[in-house]
Amino acid sequence: MIFKRKYHTKNLVEIENKCNESQKTHLILIISKNRFTGTPALKYYSMKPYLLPFLLFLVLSCSENDSEPMVINDGENTDPNTFVDEFNGTGDLVNYVTNNAEALPQVSQTSGRYHALLTDNSSNVTLHFHDKQGRLDAKLVEFPFEFVARNIGIGTTAESQTAPQASNSPYIFSGVQVHVANLDSYNSSHVVVGHRGSASFTIEGKNTLNGNSSVNDIGKNSVPDGRADIRIVGNADYSLTVYWQLPNSNYQIEADDWTLYRGTGSLPGTAPEYGKSVYVGLITYAYGTDGVPFVGTCDAIQIRN
């Protein structure tokens, strides 16, 4: 598992183990976990001053016989090289670099998810293929890096977590793209989840080199709910290794079980020559109009740089 925090839940468990039963009962009442980051809910109680002395009393009384100092860190992220976005706000995405926003204007953070509503694909405006570049919402990162998208995939406009039927062999996807630092250049790699013509409920991999795309997938019905976790590792030699798994909704406490893309972790064709910095982010797109409208969603992204 990746992106574990050194302090937070671990230390709270240690505190709990040192408490007597009465102390545990009270401690449990004021400690909880955020479903993505594992951050203790202590920060929510900072607005209730009367709880702080009580919590400090519990911590001190539970730890009074322990010579090792106990650290509780209620910050969002203790590792400056790690970025996590749970899309907890409402409205536009925050602090992303967006390329070709006009191709897919209805992208937002909604109900704790990245939410891309695709209602119009006239002239394949949303497409990522050859010299077509739809919308990308990305972060600039440097090699080596690790990027994980949690529970990313396609849904209906009525229910974003229910995949559309694959009627008429549509090409509709949501996933992750790595793009060279020059966003006007037709050089990128991507891994997307959705329907790929007759290969429905699959994951597609693609390299686009100087406007020429090579593409394949992992096979029909490999992701039966039209959703997956995607992991892309940017190696020290500027190459990419790609992994996937069915969504691990409890990844904070359950180990991930990553599978190399098509057994090798390599995408088809020749990859672009990436430099030290690249953009990595989320895309949602279609080819043609079958399957439109639909939504692409993602529960969270995690980046370790």
Pairing of strands 227-234, 136-142: unpaired
Pairing of strands 199-209, 97-99: unpaired
In the chain the domains, ranked by start, together with CATH numbers, are 9-63 (no CATH), 82-304 (2.60.120.200)
What is the arithmetic mean of pLDDT over 265-280?
Answer: 98
Q: For residue range 139-190, what is the model confidence (pLDDT) as tens digits?
A: 999 999 999 999 999 999 999 999 999 999 999 999 999 999 999 999 999 9
Listed residue (118, 216, 145, 133) closest to 182, CA to CA: 133
pLDDT for position 32: 37
Q: How confident is the model at residue 78 (pLDDT cuts 50, 70, 90)?
A: low
Both structure tokens of 214:
């090579």
Listed residue (71, 222, 59, 216) closest to 51, CA to CA: 59
Q: CB atoms < 10 A from the CB of 86, how many?
A: 20
What is the arithmetic mean of pLDDT over 221-247?
Answer: 98
C-alpha–C-alpha distance, residues 9 and 188, integer Å:
38
Q: Which residues pair with 230 in a beta bridge?
A: 149, 244
pTM of structure:
0.77
Q: For residue range 4-49, what is the model confidence (pLDDT) as tens digits?
A: 333 333 344 444 454 444 444 444 333 333 433 444 433 333 333 4
Task: Look at 228 and 18; give whichever has higher pLDDT.
Answer: 228
Bond before 144 cis per omega within 30 degrees: yes
Query: Could you write out the DSSP letters of every residue in 148-170?
Result: EEEEEEEE-SS-TTSPPP-TT--
What letter represents residue 201's amino acid?
F
Q: Determine contact, residues 217/204, Cβ cutoff 8 Å.
A: yes
Residue 95 has pLDDT above 50, yes or no: yes
Listed residue (288, 81, 282) closest to 193, CA to CA: 282
Residue 65 has pLDDT above 60, yes or no: no
| Helical spans, DSSP H, in 155-295 | none
C-alpha–C-alpha distance, residues 80 and 76, integer Å:
11
| Least confident span in 57-61, 112-116, 197-201 | 57-61
Bond before 293 cis per omega within 30 degrees: yes
Q: What share of the chain in percent tops pLDDT 70?
A: 74
